[in-house]
Structure 1
Amino acid sequence: MKKLSLVAASLLSALVVGQASAADTTGFYVGGALNRVTVDAFDDSESGTGLGVYGGYNFNEWFGLEANLFATGDLGDKDVDISAGAFSFTPKFTMQINDMFSAYAKVGVASMAVKVEALGFDEDFTGFGWTYGVGVNAAVTEHLNVRLSYDVTTGDLDADHNYLNVKNIDTDIKQLAIGVHYQF
C-alpha cells in the first residue's frame, strides 16, 4: 500500500507542477491501471496488487460509458491461494472542476470471479453483481490523463463444482487504483 501511495503522490505532484491546456474530454479513451485490491469473502479479507485495463466513450463533458477489466495475482497466505477478477460496465457522470481536473462517479453491473485453491482443491466462484466507484481525473496534456479511483464490486458468487462444501459466497472486491489513459 505504501508503494502505491508513493506512486500516486509522485504523479499528482508532477501534475500540479505541469500545466495542461484545455482538453476536449469527449470521445473514446483507453488506459491501464495499477490496483490495490482487497477481497472480502469467507468472513476474511485478503489484499494484494492487481492490474486492470479500462476504456470508454464520453458523449459530452458530463456523461459517458466505461468498461473496466481487472485481475489479481495470489492474495492468499501460504496455505490458501485466492485470486479475483471482474469485468464491469457502467455509465459515468463527470463534473469538470477546471481545465485540468475533473471528478466522476459511476455505478453499473459486473461479472465477477474468485478462484480459491486450498486443501488440494481448486474451486471457482462466478456470478454477477454491482459495481460503483468515484475518482479524480487530471488532464496532463491534451490527450494524456492520470486518474486516482476507488471502486467497489459486490455480488453473490456461486461455486462451479462445490469441492469445498461451499455453494456460494457473498463477495466484495475493493480497488484503489492509479490509472493512465489516452483520450482520442
Structure 2
Amino acid sequence: MKKIKILSRTLLAVVLGAGAFGAQAAENPGFYVGAGAGQSFVDESDYDDEDTAFSVFGGYQFNRYFGLEAGYADFGELEPEGAGRALEANSAYLTAVGTVPFTDKFSGYAKAGFHRWDLDTAIPSLTSTRDDSGSDPTYGLGLQYRFSDKVALRTEYSRFEVEDIDLDLAQVQVRFDF
C-alpha cells in the first residue's frame, strides 16, 4: 500500500509539472498581423525571372498548433525570356496554418489553402491561361522565432499556382500578436 501511495504521488507530481510546462509554453489564442519582403520566382513557359515581392497578412491563432491566415502578396514584375510583355501578378489568399513547436521560441509551420490571383494581362503562350484572374491552390513551409509574446520573425517559402504556372515566393516576415 505504501508503494502505491509513493507511486501515485510521483505520478501526480509528473503530471502537474508537465501541465505547468505546457501552460507556460503554449501560445495565447488571438489575432496577429504582419508584413514580409523577399523574392518571387517563376520558371515556366516563356518566363524565367525573379523580382522583389511584398506581402501583408493577418490571422487568428486558435492554439499553439492551428491558425487561419489571410493575406495579400505582390509578386512584382516578371520579365519574359526574349520578346513579350512583363507579367505583373498579385494574390489574395486564405490558408490553414499548422504549427509544430520545437522549443518555447522556435517553431516550424506548414500552410495550405486557396488564393485569388490577378495578372495585368493574360499569358498568350499558354493555351489554358486565357484569363487574367482566377483561383488556385497555394501552400508553403516556414520557420518562426518568437522574440517575445508579441513579436516573431518568420522565414517562409510558398508556392502560388496560377493555372499552368507556379509562382514561388521566398520571404522574411515580421509577425505582431495582439
Q: CA deviation at 1:114?
A: 2.0
Equivalenced residue count is 147
- 2:140–2:156 Cα contact (<8 Å) kept: yes
- 1:22–1:142 Cα contact (<8 Å) kept: no
Task: Tell me how far apart the structure 1 counterparts of residues 101 and 155 of structure 2 sit (CA, whole Å).
Answer: 15
Q: Write the mapping of 1:74-113 to structure 2, written as runs, cut at 5 A.
A: 74-76=77-79, 80-113=85-118
Task: Give me the TM-score of the superposition, normalised by structure 1.
Answer: 0.72
Task: Tell me how far apart the structure 2 counterparts of residues 92 and 30 of structure 1 sit (CA, whole Å).
Answer: 14
Structure whose alpha-carbon radius of gyration is higher: 2
Partner of 2:173: 179
Q: Does 1:132 align with 2:139?
A: yes
Q: Does 1:37 align with 2:40?
A: yes
Task: Tell me how far apart the structure 2 counterparts of residues 99 and 53 of structure 1 sit (CA, whole Å).
Answer: 25
Instruction: Go from structure 1 to structure 2 and tell me whether the alpha carbon gap of 1:25 and 1:39 turns closer, same or farther (over 3 Å shift).
Output: farther
Task: Tell me how far apart the structure 2 counterparts of residues 183 and 22 of structure 1 sit (CA, whole Å).
Answer: 16
Could you tell me which runs of 5 or more consecutive residues in structure 1 were left unpaired when the two chains were aligned: 1-20, 157-169
Could you tell me which runs of 5 or more consecutive residues in structure 2 were left unpaired when the two chains were aligned: 1-23, 124-129
Q: Write the mapping of 1:17-166 to structure 2, written as runs, cut at 5 A.
A: 24-76=27-79, 80-116=85-121, 125-156=132-163
Q: CA deviation at 1:117?
A: 9.2
The answer to which structure has the higher strand fraction is: 1
Task: Tell me how far apart the structure 2 counterparts of residues 124 and 145 of structure 1 sit (CA, whole Å).
Answer: 38
Quote the sequence identity (%).
31
Runs of at least 4 residues off by over 6 Å = none
Q: Which has the higher contact order (CA 8 A, sep 6+)?
A: 1
Q: CA deviation at 1:41?
A: 4.4
Q: CA deviation at 1:23?
A: 7.2
Task: Tell me how far apart the structure 2 counterparts of residues 39 and 93 of structure 1 sit (CA, whole Å).
Answer: 26
